[in-house]
Structure 1
Amino acid sequence: MTTSPATETETKRLAIPTYDDVCAAHERIAPWTHRTPVLTSQTFNDMTGADLHFKCENFQKAGAFKARGATNAVFSLSDKAAEHGVATHSSGNHALSLSRAAQCRGIPCQVVMPHTAPKAKMEAVRGYGGEITPCEPSLSDRERTLDGVIEQSGAHFVHPYNDPRVIAGQGTCSKEFMDQVGGLDAVIAPIGGGGMISGSALTCSTIAPNTRVYAAEPAQADDAYRSFHAGRIIPDDAPDTIADGLRVSLKPYTWHFVSHYVTDVLRVSEGEIVDAMRLVWKRMKIVIEPSSAVAVAAVLKNPGLFAGQRVGVILTGGNVDLDNLPWMHDNR
């Protein structure tokens, strides 16, 4: 696909991260993050006709891939830039990952979170020393509230995904993945703001240019799908999906990678997300959150795209509220 001239002009002004930035990030975050395992499942192979490999970021520090980008951003800061701590807005995983990274560096962390964020993620933020300011569950209110927090605290803003340091950090996941498995025909990951997809596209386009990159998205939060096919960013201010980590829209940095390197954006229903999440729990015996299940659901829904191929599926996180699992109130 091609982007509009206006978008091309905008992206030329951005400091697009490179694979050298990914390699530097990988070295920088190594003391603070896990090299997560890759699992396989004959059950899922039989269901899809593909040779699937699951990169388990649910076993990452702080329970999600977001630890990579947040840690890279925090430890990239000069002492002067870090003196008043860091701040962000997030529905959960970036919030708790940035709080942990700040704790590791010994600086404060301010987090703006929608009051609808999962209780488990709020508790994790506080457990890592983050200070939460609640807001309404819309991207515009998150950003507006954060402006006030930064003005009062002087903290350094680390965007959840529209930040080259964060994207480079997320790119370390696919770097490891290719080292561990290699020779993948395709990689698929969930997309919300696009940080993981951008990092995956950056890495794969450099070291595995024949590997296709797919994004998986809830149909009820499909701004990336609509943007991809329109050739411009179409934001969605307050999408409603069980995949709480994907309730945000693309921004210029992530749009650059989505528009240039992603093969397609695949949509799945809420019911398909729940079914995929439950099946992973049941057959693979691991805990993943709804956002992670979006990628699994997309592969299950589109076996014709992946049959007979070696496919990498990135399980992005495992932070769930065990008292409010989605199948407890699934009324289908």
Structure 2
Amino acid sequence: MEYNKQQLEQVLYDIEPYTHRTPVLKSRLINEISGSDIWFKCENFQRMGAFKMRGAANAILNLSKEQQDKGVVTHSSGNFAQALSLAAKSLGVPAYIVMPDSAPEVKKAAVRTYGGKITECPSTLKDREDAANQIQQQTGATFIHPSNDTNVILGQGTAAIELLQEQPDLDFIITPVGGGGLIAGTALAAKFFGRNCKCVGAEPLEADDAWRSMQSGNIESNSSANTIADGLKTQLGDLNFPIILEDVDDIIRVTEAEIKSAMKLIWERMKIVIEPSSAVALAAVLKESQLFKGKKLGIIISGGNVDLKKLQEMIS
């Protein structure tokens, strides 16, 4: 599919009533440690606490009135479940959310708060897909994939557009890589709105399917994914992967210790709560500091939905 600047500008305009223009923060100390000049785009302050609100809103807005009346469905145990529920509620659209029965009660409660109608199922991907298909057949709802959907990808890219509107001279934008929607949208934003701005991904070494996919040219998967960055355990899709191959400059892998260290640094020095997946981008900058030395960087803080009961576990 061909993408253009006007298309992304329209998406930014369309979702504006349903999303926050999140703040951009800096830290003098982190700049000194990294040797670079970093602007943090804080999507942890987005509605429902993560960037995924952008893509969810855009996906629903691009449905016909008939489709909206019948509702939307997705399967997710994390941020997209909350994002689609809230976006649907904001637009007066029914939202059906398939969640694994093993999902934390705090996440289920959040989805219900946002108006999502939960169907629980076993945690396998097949069970999730089967449950979503059954809901589609019963209700006529439209399935929205959390990351491998064109309108979701374009919506996620608006965070980087806003960042580049404030700081147009960035040399790099670094973003976490999970299902590929955020980095694909960010890469398009850097391409059309940046001034020779490169897009770099960051990924846990324990779940490095995107890095391996870029090496092989094919979508790879993880046999296991033992990482604290639980939002990054999903794999790339056939719609976002071609964008990543063409427009992402590199993907940097980081260890669990590096993720925890970066997260702790942001908590302590910036006084903001971020989730482990968000810390992966700063971890990559600190690991490859020579690559970024003296450069102007944008980092997408992807979200801040943390289970407060697990705070100590996350940094120990």
Please state which band the TM-score falls in when normalised by the shorter chain.
over 0.9
Which whole-Å CA distance do the structure 1 matches of 2:173 and 2:180 have between them? 14
TM-fit CA distance, 1:229? 0.7
- State the partner residue of 1:328: 313
TM-fit CA distance, 1:151? 2.2
For residues 96 and 43 of structure 1, do their structure 2 counterparts lie closer, same or farther at Cα, with a shift above 3 Å needed?
same
TM-fit CA distance, 1:145? 3.0
- State the partner residue of 2:266: 280
Question: Given residue 328 of structure 1, which amino acid in structure 2 is its aligned partner?
Answer: E
Question: Given residue 114 of structure 1, which amino acid in structure 2 is its aligned partner?
Answer: P
Question: Given residue 24 of structure 1, which amino acid in structure 2 is its aligned partner?
Answer: Q
Are the equivalent residues in 1 in contact too, given 2:170–2:195 (CA < 8 A)? Answer: no
Say if 2:144 is the partner of 1:195.
no
Say if 2:86 is the partner of 1:100.
yes
Which whole-Å CA distance do the structure 2 matches of 1:240 and 1:76 have between them? 36
Say if 2:29 is the partner of 1:43.
yes
* Residue deviations 1:12-60 (CA, integer Å, cap 9, x gap): xxx4443322111111111111111110001111111000110000001
Which whole-Å CA distance do the structure 1 matches of 2:149 and 2:239 have between them? 7
For residues 147 and 17 of structure 1, do their structure 2 counterparts lie closer, same or farther at Cα, with a shift above 3 Å needed?
farther
Say if 2:191 is the partner of 1:205.
yes
1:255 corresponds to which of 241, 257, 260: 241
Are the equivalent residues in 1 in contact too, given 2:266–2:272 (CA < 8 A)? Answer: yes
Say if 2:270 is the partner of 1:289.
no
Are the equivalent residues in 1 in contact too, given 2:260–2:314 (CA < 8 A)? Answer: no
Which whole-Å CA distance do the structure 2 matches of 1:215 and 1:249 have between them? 14
Which whole-Å CA distance do the structure 2 matches of 1:41 and 1:116 have between them? 38
TM-fit CA distance, 1:115? 3.8
- State the partner residue of 1:73: 59
TM-fit CA distance, 1:290? 0.8
Which whole-Å CA distance do the structure 2 matches of 1:114 and 1:43 have between them? 41
For residues 119 and 48 of structure 1, do their structure 2 counterparts lie closer, same or farther at Cα, with a shift above 3 Å needed?
farther
Matches within 5 A, 1:148-159: 148-159=134-145
TM-fit CA distance, 1:254? 0.9
Q: 115-124 or 40-49: which moved more?
A: 115-124
Which whole-Å CA distance do the structure 2 matches of 1:115 and 1:216 have between them? 30
Are the equivalent residues in 2 in contact too, given 1:222–1:267 (CA < 8 A)? Answer: yes
Say if 2:166 is the partner of 1:180.
yes
Question: Given residue 40 of structure 1, which amino acid in structure 2 is its aligned partner?
Answer: K
For residues 222 and 126 of structure 1, do their structure 2 counterparts lie closer, same or farther at Cα, with a shift above 3 Å needed?
same
Matches within 5 A, 1:9-20: 15-20=1-6
Are the equivalent residues in 2 in contact too, given 1:121–1:319 (CA < 8 A)? Answer: no
* Residue deviations 1:246-303 (CA, integer Å, cap 9, x gap): 1110001110111101111111112221221121111100010111011111111111
1:242 corresponds to which of 228, 237, 257: 228
Question: Given residue 264 of structure 1, which amino acid in structure 2 is its aligned partner?
Answer: D
SS at match of 1:34: coil
Are the equivalent residues in 1 in contact too, given 2:156–2:186 (CA < 8 A)? Answer: yes
Are the equivalent residues in 2 in contact too, given 1:99–1:128 (CA < 8 A)? Answer: yes
Question: Given residue 164 of structure 2, which amino acid in structure 1 is its aligned partner?
Answer: M
Which whole-Å CA distance do the structure 1 matches of 2:143 and 2:65 have between them? 15
Q: TM-score, length-normalised on structure 1?
A: 0.90
TM-fit CA distance, 1:84? 1.4
Percent identical pairs in the alignment equals: 48
- State the partner residue of 1:28: 14
Q: 181-190 or 138-147: which moved more?
A: 138-147
Question: Given residue 277 of structure 2, which amino acid in structure 1 is its aligned partner?
Answer: S
- State the partner residue of 2:210: 224
For residues 141 and 258 of structure 1, do their structure 2 counterparts lie closer, same or farther at Cα, with a shift above 3 Å needed?
farther
Q: How many residues align?
A: 316
Which whole-Å CA distance do the structure 2 matches of 1:329 and 1:163 have between them? 31
Which whole-Å CA distance do the structure 2 matches of 1:242 and 1:115 have between them? 20
Say if 2:93 is the partner of 1:125.
no
Say if 2:298 is the partner of 1:316.
no
Are the equivalent residues in 1 in contact too, given 2:176–2:202 (CA < 8 A)? Answer: yes
**Structure 2 residue ranges without an equivalent (≥5):** none
TM-fit CA distance, 1:131? 1.6
**Structure 1 residue ranges without an equivalent (≥5):** 1-14
Q: 28-37 or 148-157: which moved more?
A: 148-157
